[in-house]
Structure 1
Amino acid sequence: MKALIVEDDQFHATYLQDALAEALPEVTEIFHAADGVAGEEDARQGGIEAIVMDLQMDRRNGIEAARTIWAERPQSRILFWSNYADDAYLRGIAQIVPEDSAYGYVLKTASRDRLKLALRAVLIEGQIMVDREIHRRQKSGASLRTRLDDSEFAVLVDLALGLQDKLIAERQGMSLRTVQNRLLSLYEKLGVLSEFDDRLTLNKRVRALNRALVTRTINLETLEAAQRDLEAWLVDRS
């Protein structure tokens, strides 16, 4: 069995290589790619179905690299690991993972035993595994009442891309009224409405984007992937 590590930090790559060797005796070869572009190229060489993927890398981030790998080889099993427990990452992964593929998400701060458990569960047993610490951090950062649902998140991303309400409605298959209701809801959940009083004149859309970035509801990787999707949609639309 061949495994691929996609990680731009050499220390972390060496740590992963050792953990893989300990947890997966089935692995006969371990390859290392220093960024997402190299990871895509190495995955094309054939025979690699087990991948450990960093999320934040130069040239191409882990979400985009995984999207390409899964599009070409949907049977690939990918364990993502990151310093961040962003909800945006989980949403981004959920949007691109093939229906029957296994994936996992573990923090770099996880214990070695926890990492080894995730490596085996995802890459060998084909399970879907998200580290409980990620869920714990998300719950501590946002209550169920303030968590955006999928439709609100989709509208937020389109807002961040600069789309006006009518184009958001067309792109998301919503009525204009529905888009406006989603905007009001996400303004409230992001705490935008509470910032306004008679002394201030603020742009709600800009403040919503600001709050979403500060709270890491969306991140740079989310916007990069969304821009790619938007460009493809605009080509199809024309």
Structure 2
Amino acid sequence: MIKILVVDDHTIFRSGLRKLLSDEPDMRVDDEARDVGEMLAKLRRASFDVVLLDVSMAGRSGLEAMPSVRAEFPKLPVLFLSMYPAEQYAVVALRAGASGYLTKDAESEELILAIREVAAGRRYLSSTAAQRLLLQTVGGDDDQPPHHRLSAREHQIMLMIVQGISLTEIGKQMFISVKTVSSTRTRILQKIGVDNNAELVLYAVRHRIVHG
């Protein structure tokens, strides 16, 4: 039996996953967590075979949490579920230590397959994301787009900026100061090679990080 911990800040989504996976004879959702702090506490108290982890949550993001997860649970399979396109974000997730990456609009059959794959110690990516990762591996770092060089926190803040969220609101959602958000924004613009938020949005649309 594959024991699963679902980590997502949306109650309806967690409930939907629990109901979906309840039909599978070889897996069950043993517990749920709303944020990274709750996830780490539950991982320390109980044993799980797979963690289904949302990339972006209020406060500390799933990506930012991976160093802590890997430090305490180095062999625990973590499958990221996200609304962000896999072909652009999967590389960041794997570098952070994820076992796999799926978008939340994936078919239920693919999710179930992915869970079984990572539970067996393998990695899972959609075919599109896998092809892109292979091309980047063959091409080397010079062929990677600039946003793949961002840190986990920089990625999260970039995504929030291009969604039109103010720096003040970003700080509130991530529990960090506006000054920290502002300095991070400056680093993002420098790494991407753009001068302002409008150019950052155009970059995000052009690279299919968000849909225009």
TM-score by length of 2: 0.61
User: Any gaps of 5 or more consecutive residues in structure 2?
Assistant: 155-191
**DSSP-derived class of the 1:32 partner:** strand
For residues 77-110 of structure 1, the C-alpha deviation after alignment (integer angstroms, 9 at most, x for no partner) is 011111111555323222232xxxx711111111
Q: Is the 8 A contact 1:80 1:104 kept in 2?
A: yes
> In structure 2, how many angstroms separate the alpha carbons of the residues matched to 1:74 and 1:153?
27
The alignment's C-alpha RMSD in Å is: 3.6
Residue from 133, 147, 150 that aligns with 2:141: 150
Partner residue in 2 for 1:115: 111
Change (3 A) 1:119 1:38: same
Paired residues, number:
163
Partner residue in 2 for 1:9: 10
Partner residue in 2 for 1:31: 31
- The answer to whether 1:106 aligns with 2:107 is no
Structure 1 residue 205, shift from structure 2 partner: 3.5
- The answer to whether 1:205 aligns with 2:159 is no
Structure 1 residue 128, shift from structure 2 partner: 0.7
Seq. identity, %: 24
Q: Is the 8 A contact 1:23 1:117 kept in 2?
A: no
Partner residue in 2 for 1:230: none
Q: How does 1:1-238 map to 2 (within 5 A)?
A: 2-23=3-24, 25-27=26-28, 30-85=30-85, 89-97=89-97, 103-123=99-119, 125-132=120-127, 134=129, 149-151=140-142, 157=149, 205-207=193-195, 210=200, 212-215=203-206
Change (3 A) 1:24 1:73: farther
TM-score by length of 1: 0.55
For residues 16-68 of structure 1, the C-alpha deviation after alignment (integer angstroms, 9 at most, x for no partner) is 112333335354x6110011222122212241231001111101111112231
> In structure 2, how many angstroms separate the alpha carbons of the residues matched to 1:66 and 1:23?
27
